[in-house]
Chains A and B, each alone.
Chain A
Amino acid sequence: MNGNQDVGSRTGKFTGFFIQIYDAFAFVMRFFKEAFVPPFHFKEFVRQCYYIGYKSLALISITGFITGLVFTKQSRPSLASFGATSWLPSLVSIAILRALAPLVTALICAGRVGSNIGAELGSMKVTEQIDAMEVSAINPYKYLVVTRVMATTCMLPLLMFYTAFVGLMGSYMDIHANEQTSFASFFESAFSSINFLDYWASIVKAVVYGFTIGIVGSYKGFNAGNGTTGVGQAANSAVVTSMFLIFIEEVIIVQITNFLRTGT
Chain B
Amino acid sequence: MHIADNIATEEKVITIKGLYKSFGENHVLKGVDLDVYRRENVVVLGRSGTGKSVLIKIIAGLLKPDEGTVLVLGKNLQELSREEIRELRLKLGFSFQSSALYDSMTVRENLEFPLVQNHKNIRRSEIDKAVEEVIDAVGLAQTINQMPSELSGGQRKRIGIARTLILRPEIMLYDEPTAGLDPITSIDINNLINEVQHRYHTSSIIITHDLTCAKSTGDRVAMLLDGTFVKQGTFEEVFASNDERIKSFYDYNFIEQ
Contact = CB atoms under 8 A, between A and B. Distances in A.
Contacts of B62: 131, 134-135
- Most chain B CB inside 10 Å of its own CB: which residue of A129, A132, A134: A132
Interface in A105-146: 123-124, 127-129, 131-132, 134-139, 143
Contacts of A143: 117
A39 B120 contact: yes
Interface of B: 57, 60-62, 86-87, 89-90, 92-94, 96-98, 100-103, 113-114, 117-118, 120, 163-164, 167
A137 B120 contact: no
B98 A128 contact: yes
A132 B89 CA distance: 11
Given A39-B120, A128-B96, A131-B96, A136 B114 contact: yes
A128 B86 contact: no
Given A135-B164, A136-B89, 8 more contacts: A127-B98, A132-B163, A134-B62, A135-B93, A136-B118, A136-B164, A137-B90, A137-B167
Contacts of A127: 98, 100, 103
B14 to A, nearest CB: 15
A137 B96 contact: no
A136 B96 contact: no
Nearest to A44: B117
Closest 3 CB pairs of A and B: A132-B100, A136-B114, A135-B94
Interface string A89-116: 0000000000000000000000000000
Interface string A52-96: 000000000000000000000000000000000000000000000
24 contacts: A127-B100, A129-B100, A129-B102, A131-B100, A132-B94, A132-B100, A132-B101, A132-B102, A132-B163, A134-B60, A134-B62, A134-B89, A135-B62, A135-B92, A135-B93, A136-B117, A136-B167, A137-B86, A137-B89, A137-B90, A137-B117, A138-B114, A138-B118, A143-B117
Contact of B114 (A123, A131, A137): A137
B117 A138 contact: yes
A136 B60 contact: no
